[in-house]
Amino acid sequence: MCELLAMSANTPTDLCFSFTGLTRRGGQTGPHKDGWGVAFYEGKGVRAFHDADASASSRIAEVVQTHPIKSEVAICHIRQANVGDICLANTHPFMRELWGRYWVFAHNGQLSGFRSNPGFYEPVGTTDSEALFCDILNHLRTHCDRNTGTDEIIDRLVRLSVAYASQGVFNLLLSNGDWLFTYCTTKMASITRRAPFGPARLKDADVTVDFESETTPNDIVSVIVTEPLTTDEKWDVYQPGEWRLWRKGEVIRSGVATA
pLDDT of residue 224: 92
Report the CATH number that the domain containing residue 196 is assigned in CATH.
3.60.20.10
Q: Is the pLDDT of residue 150 over 90?
A: yes
240: which residues sit within 8 A by CB, 6+ positions away? 184, 185, 186, 258
Query: What tens digit of pLDDT does each residue of 217-244 get?
Result: 778 888 899 888 888 889 999 999 999 9
pLDDT of residue 26: 61
Omega before residue 93 within 30° of 0, cis: yes
Query: What tens digit of pLDDT does each residue of 15-34 get?
Result: 666 777 667 766 666 666 77
In whole angstroms, give the CA distance from residue 141 to residue 86.
30
pLDDT of residue 13: 47
Q: Give the H or E element holding residue 209.
A: strand 208-210
Average pLDDT of every residue of the chain: 85
In whole angstroms, give the CA distance from residue 110 to residue 2.
10
Q: Is the pLDDT of residue 155 over 80?
A: yes
Is residue 3 very low, low, confident or very high in pLDDT (cuts 50, 70, 90)? low
Measured CA to CA in angstroms, residue 83 lies from 128, 138, 234 at distances of 7, 22, 33
Is residue 147 very low, low, confident or very high in pLDDT (cuts 50, 70, 90)? very high
Quote the domain boundaries for residue 157.
Answer: 3-256
Q: Is the pLDDT of residue 165 over 50?
A: yes
- Prediction pTM value: 0.90
Q: Please give the tally of structural domains in the chain.
A: 1
Q: Is the pLDDT of residue 11 over 60?
A: no
To the query of whether residue 2 is one of the catalytic residues in this protein, the response is: yes
Percentages of the chain per state (helix, strand, coil), in multiples of 5: 25, 35, 40
Is residue 216 very low, low, confident or very high in pLDDT (cuts 50, 70, 90)? confident
